[in-house]
Structure 1
Amino acid sequence: MRRRTLLASVLAAAGAAGLAACGADDTSGASGASDGAASDGGASGGGVLDTVTVKGAFGAEPTVTFDAPLSFSAPEAKIITPGDGEAIAEGDALGMHTAYIDATSGEVLQSSWQGAPAEFLAVSVESNGQEAVSFLTTATVGSRIAMLGQVTDSQGKSYQVVQVSDIVSKALPRATGTPQPTPADQPQFTLAENGAPQLSGTPTTPAPSTTVATVTIQGEGEQTAEGDTLAMHYTGWKLSDGSQFDSSWDRGEPFSFTLGQNQVIQGWDVPLTGKTVGSQVLLVIPPAEAYGEAGQSQSELAGETLIFVADILGAVKAPAA
């Protein structure tokens, strides 16, 4: 699935997803603080976060102060405010609002509270390292956390940053809700035990002129809306021969993007608006609403009508003004 690169992260050891969602074609023993300042424990860098003050209620834009430039030689991570929500385990995907502050200048580089997208962070050793997993699994949904690390923007410029994130939700592992019948004239598929879809032979569905979206599991969560950051599991096939070309299930982590921001193909951006979290949607997308006749960045999909089975696992809405 194509997604435009905004700012890419190298903050793996600190557990940060990045200054914004990365392109996809592509610490231990933390404790809370009672006064809104960074607390003791849970650090690998010698307690530099003790000099950082974070104020503000969970869900509201944090006020982060420190004497700049803030110097550190290793990532750190701490829980600022413990949450009272679900426990976090390896393999989860966390919906977060995040502010990134330049450690050198003290200026905000990017913030969900100032119009930047929310993000989903995979609690995964492969993506974010063992230190991040060890730290994040000490937190719970509803926690505010702070981290120190380094990020690199899309032009290759690196920044040392203070990251403050509110963990607002945890994505579902698969679509869950009420199964709906798949029309006989649409591609048929089965689900593995873990929920991963498998196409049932070479499809005979005629190529549509516009995207056909069929809800095959009706979820019971909130409705998606433009500006929401979604976490998705999906598999995609070519209608022409039924061959698979992409799958987040195979990668072992959900895919995330911000709905209605032209970060994905049109056949995703529009039909997934107004669906409920927990739903599974079968999409049959013509070339004009996929990668076009020329293929754009996906030359192997030039002129192809595409089939997707997409699970809507979570949605993070923009913070309230």
Structure 2
Amino acid sequence: MRSSFALFATAGIIALTLSGCASAPAPEAVSGDSSDAVSVTGDFGEKPKVEFPAPLAPEETQCTEIIAGDGELIEEGQFVLLGASLFNGTTGEEVQVVGYDEDPAPLAIGDDTLIAFTKGLSCAREGSRVVVVAPSQEAIRPSDDPTGAEGGDSLVAVFDVIRAFMPRADGAVRLSRDGFPAVVLAPDGRPGITVPKGADPFETTEVEVLKEGSGEVVESGDTVVVHYTGVNWADGEVFDSSWEKGVPISLVVADDEGSQVIPGFSTAVIGQKVGSQVGVVIPPSEAYGEQGNGAVPGNSTLFFVIDILGVV
């Protein structure tokens, strides 16, 4: 194998992302002799005892569900919290364990990940414990050159899907006021935004609930999972979007210096219910001010559409 199986960041943040079907997901892997040969015991959410006859050498990724989960299969664009135990499937060596002891590891499901994880987690749901066994050529990221992995070791992984966040806001649709930017949604939930021509008519941060959810209320200091798109009011051009990156993100919203986002973004999210989608007009004073930031010129009014997918 050209790189180790130390695949997860040690500080509780998973640096990998996965890819899957955009809609109506179906499992990309099924059980087989290799995944069925892995014995897993122990309580869900706690480090399991894992035994298997090494070497395991499947021709393609296999997945066996050990503990049945609930709800829909995990799909692209979701954010999950996991417990994960990783092993070298050729030698039997344990190489990494993360996400247990009430500290599940977060993972945003997107495009750049191990093929094995993409296929294996596509057969999982919230509450699932699954065994994934993969050959070396599928235990690589799509962006990597697979040549270096040929002839390497297989991978065995046991995942506990402790929590799966919704992939897009699912609240009841609400109408916005006149003069507010128009928002239309693609089938996968991605927003398209049309900003009215002319100067921003608002002088303060203005929030509209586009979909009203029914979940937990976001409080100041919460870490939230969101999908968002931000445009510059002046030209309507997108300057940042988690949808374009393919994954939702987690961040802290707060009404003080503890926030990880601009003040207007926090204002839009705090006090809203999970499952909601909000639109927010943010003046320069609550955004990037006179100095601007990257693709945002100074003194720019911004408009965001934010899907609030959960509180971590």
TM-score by length of 2: 0.63
* 1:290-309 mapped onto 2 (5 Å cutoff): 290-296=287-293, 298=294, 300-309=296-305
Equivalent residue number for residue 36 of structure 1 = none
Q: Specify which of 103, 110, 119 is matched with residue 106 of structure 2.
A: 119
Equivalent residue number for residue 199 of structure 1 = 194
In 2: Cα distance, 1:42 partner to 1:20 partner: 26
Aligned to 1:267, the other structure's residue is in SS state helix
Instruction: List per-residue Cα deviations over 1:32-53 (Å, max 9, x = no partner).
Output: xxxxxxxx7349xxx8x76xx7
Equivalent residue number for residue 260 of structure 2 = 263
- Contact residue 181 and residue 195 of structure 2 kept, 8 A: yes
> Do structure 1's residue 223 and structure 2's residue 207 form an aligned pair?
no
In 1: Cα distance, 2:15 partner to 2:297 partner: 22
Report the CA distance shift for 1:294/1:54 in structure 2 as closer, same or farther (over 3 A). Answer: farther
In 2: Cα distance, 1:268 partner to 1:303 partner: 16
Report the CA distance shift for 1:264/1:147 in structure 2 as closer, same or farther (over 3 A). Answer: farther
Report the CA distance shift for 1:84/1:192 in structure 2 as closer, same or farther (over 3 A). Answer: closer
- The gaps in structure 2 that reach 5 residues or longer are 17-27, 134-138, 142-154
Equivalent residue number for residue 176 of structure 1 = 170
Equivalent residue number for residue 24 of structure 2 = none
In the alignment of these two chains, the number of paired residues is 267
Amino acid of the structure 1 residue aligned with 2:272: K
- Contact residue 230 and residue 238 of structure 2 kept, 8 A: yes
- Contact residue 259 and residue 273 of structure 1 kept, 8 A: no
* 1:279-290 mapped onto 2 (5 Å cutoff): 279-290=276-287
Amino acid of the structure 2 residue aligned with 1:63: K
- Contact residue 120 and residue 256 of structure 1 kept, 8 A: no
Aligned to 1:269, the other structure's residue is in SS state helix
- Contact residue 87 and residue 157 of structure 2 kept, 8 A: yes
Report the CA distance shift for 1:243/1:255 in structure 2 as closer, same or farther (over 3 A). Answer: same
Deviation at 1:280, TM superposition (A): 1.3
- Contact residue 95 and residue 120 of structure 1 kept, 8 A: yes
Deviation at 1:14, TM superposition (A): 9.8
Report the CA distance shift for 1:165/1:191 in structure 2 as closer, same or farther (over 3 A). Answer: same
Instruction: List per-residue Cα deviations over 1:85-133 (Å, max 9, x = no partner).
Output: 124254351421446899999897x6475667x53431x4x32243222
Amino acid of the structure 1 residue aligned with 2:76: G
Report the CA distance shift for 1:84/1:295 in structure 2 as closer, same or farther (over 3 A). Answer: same
Amino acid of the structure 2 residue aligned with 1:240: A
- Contact residue 119 and residue 229 of structure 1 kept, 8 A: no
- Contact residue 15 and residue 133 of structure 1 kept, 8 A: no
Instruction: Please give the root-mean-square deviation of Cα atoms over the aligned residues, in Å.
Output: 4.6
TM-score by length of 1: 0.62
In 1: Cα distance, 2:85 partner to 2:242 partner: 27
- The gaps in structure 1 that reach 5 residues or longer are 1-9, 32-39, 152-159
Q: Specify which of 274, 278, 293 is matched with residue 277 of structure 1.
A: 274
In 2: Cα distance, 1:107 partner to 1:198 partner: 43
Report the CA distance shift for 1:161/1:42 in structure 2 as closer, same or farther (over 3 A). Answer: closer
* 1:73-222 mapped onto 2 (5 Å cutoff): 81-88=66-73, 90-98=75-83, 111=99, 113=101, 119-122=106-109, 124=110, 126-145=111-130, 164-172=159-167, 174-185=168-179, 187-194=180-187, 195=189, 196-202=191-197, 204-206=199-201, 208-209=203-204, 211-222=205-216
In 1: Cα distance, 2:162 partner to 2:277 partner: 24
